[in-house]
A and B are shown apart, each in its own frame.
Chain A
Amino acid sequence: MKRIYLILAFTVFVFCFPLFLHAGKEKAGQPLIRSVQADFVQEKQLPILAKPLFSRGRFIFQAPQSLRWEYFTPLHTVLLMRQGQVRKFIEEDGSFREEQGMGVDAMQIVLQEISGWLDGNISDTETFSVTEVGEERIILTPRDGAFAKFIRRIELQLADQAGFMKTVTLYEGEGAYTKMSFTDSVLNGKIPETTFVSP
């Protein structure tokens, strides 16, 4: 079961990538990113699906490493990451149940990667090779190893405002992708610490 959580950890890693990428860095003409929050619609397509699946949720990130990744539909789940600890909750019959076995070891891998990004340039990552297409599109291609087995590429569509994404699309294989479209983004809004503590 640990392996499922490792995959979950990698999923978090992939979708959080754009957020962590700029956090804590101040670039010329761009604001320091202390927090980002946005609503999202997630579209899932698979070859076997006659109709795509849609999920809705909200993303809240606070530098350096706090995250609340919440889905409202089709299942109400909350993934919390704070001070290196990751917990996942699922709402059942009106109350939240914590998923046991959320591998801290799995998330350590993610946190190590994130620390690497925060310290260096995106192009230096050992995990992805980066291609910038125009000013608004970035394509990340796994270099090798575990990632390449189940992710072909990730496309980031940047929004006009620094620090924001329009979409993140993860291509898993022929006809299989997950696309997250972000709306109502808020940059550097004040976020209560309790947001990352409990569902």
Chain B
Amino acid sequence: MRIAVRILCLLLLSSCSLVQVQQPFMTNTAGGDVARVLRDRCESLFAPGTFQQVHSIRFSKADGRGATVLGVTVRDGDTLKCGLMGVEGFVLFEAELGESLKIERALPPFDNSAFAAGLMEDVQTLFLLPDGDVVNCGTSSEGEQLCRYEQSYGRSTDIIVSEGDTFHINVYDDKKRRVKNVVFRSFTDTAIGRTAGEIELTVPGSRGYTLTMNLISAEKI
């Protein structure tokens, strides 16, 4: 009997971990000035112009393992440059994303091309306005104020403006399942405008991970 209860608990736990968050419906699409104001608010999350930002990044895998590195992000026009280094200064990964992805340096375990592509995708999510021609601004079925960017292959990204100076970015796949969630909080005035002091990016699932980023510096270049 005890074994059966344990198995049941395990099944329940595993099924809970497999539950994926679905994209909420838009219940109220704003128009005119209201939409413009909301869209400006959503887009204010991304610093304009050219900048250099440095973060400490705590990388945690689903199994609890992880490491802390320093991350440098440079936006120079349409080009996004990214570097990861140990606290001691040794460069582990360096790449540039312009029209194509150019990896300048990648030491193990960052020398996996899928990893590099995924990492740069995360950097894009964090620092660049989502691509997508169709943008709907309004209120979701969960009562959140958001801007929805419809992208290619059925993917979409929601930028959610929360009360208390917190923003969320949710990225959904073509089946409207959430595949990435980012929280921006503790905003502070910097040389490049109001910038999130803390960012937490989570990719769910058994192979998922969390990046916990704390701002060290933000400078115009």
Number of B positions contacting A (CB below 8 A): 36
* Contacts known (A4-B86, A50-B221); A150 close to B70, Cβ less than 8 A: no
B71-91: CB near A (< 8 Å → 1, else 0) gives 010101000011101111111
* Contacts known (A48-B96, A51-B52, A53-B72); A11 close to B104, Cβ less than 8 A: no
Q: Does A120 contact B (CB under 8 A)?
A: no
Q: Is A1 a contact partner of B85 (Cβ separation < 8 A)? A: no
Q: Does A113 contact B (CB under 8 A)?
A: no
**CB of A6 to closest CB in B, whole Å:** 8
Number of A positions contacting B (CB below 8 A): 36
CA distance in complex: A53, B69 (Å): 14
Q: Which residues of chain B from 88 to 115 have a CB within 8 Å of any chain A CB?
A: 88-92, 94, 96, 104-105, 107-109
**CB of B190 to closest CB in A, whole Å:** 14
Q: Is B70 a contact partner of A7 (Cβ separation < 8 A)? A: no
* Contacts known (A3-B109, A99-B67); A48 close to B86, Cβ less than 8 A: no
Q: A19-27, A30-38, A159-167, A172-180: which one contacts chain B?
A: A172-180
Determine the chain B residues whose CB is within 8 A of the CB of A99 once the complex forms.
Answer: 67-68
Q: Is A46 a contact partner of B72 (Cβ separation < 8 A)? A: yes
Q: Does B119 contact A (CB under 8 A)?
A: no
B179-221: CB near A (< 8 Å → 1, else 0) gives 0000000000000000000000000000000000000110101
Q: Is B56 a contact partner of A1 (Cβ separation < 8 A)? A: no
Q: Is A7 a contact partner of B83 (Cβ separation < 8 A)? A: no
Q: Which residues of chain B from 152 to 167 have a CB within 8 Å of any chain A CB?
A: none
Q: Does A189 contact B (CB under 8 A)?
A: no
Determine the chain A residues whose CB is within 8 A of the CB of B91 once the complex forms.
Answer: 46, 150, 172, 176
| Cβ-defined partner of A53 (8 Å) among B70, B104, B107, B221 | B70
Nearest-neighbor residue (CB-CB) of B105 within chain A = A173
Q: Which residues of chain B from 35 to 79 have a CB within 8 Å of any chain A CB?
A: 50, 52, 54, 56, 61, 65-70, 72, 74, 76
Determine the chain A residues whose CB is within 8 A of the CB of B72 once the complex forms.
Answer: 46, 48-49, 53
Determine the chain A residues whose CB is within 8 A of the CB of B56 once the complex forms.
Answer: 74-75
Q: Does A182 contact B (CB under 8 A)?
A: no
CA distance in complex: A3, B96 (Å): 23
Q: Is A53 a contact partner of B54 (Cβ separation < 8 A)? A: yes
Interface residues of B (CB under 8 A from A): 50, 52, 54, 56, 61, 65-70, 72, 74, 76, 81-83, 85-92, 94, 96, 104-105, 107-109, 216-217, 219, 221
**Told that A49-B72, A50-B219 touch, could you supply 7 new A-B pairs with CB distance under 8 A?**
A7-B86, A8-B86, A48-B81, A74-B217, A75-B68, A79-B88, A90-B68
10 contacts between A and B (CB under 8 A): A1-B66, A8-B90, A49-B74, A50-B74, A74-B54, A74-B216, A77-B68, A150-B105, A173-B105, A176-B94
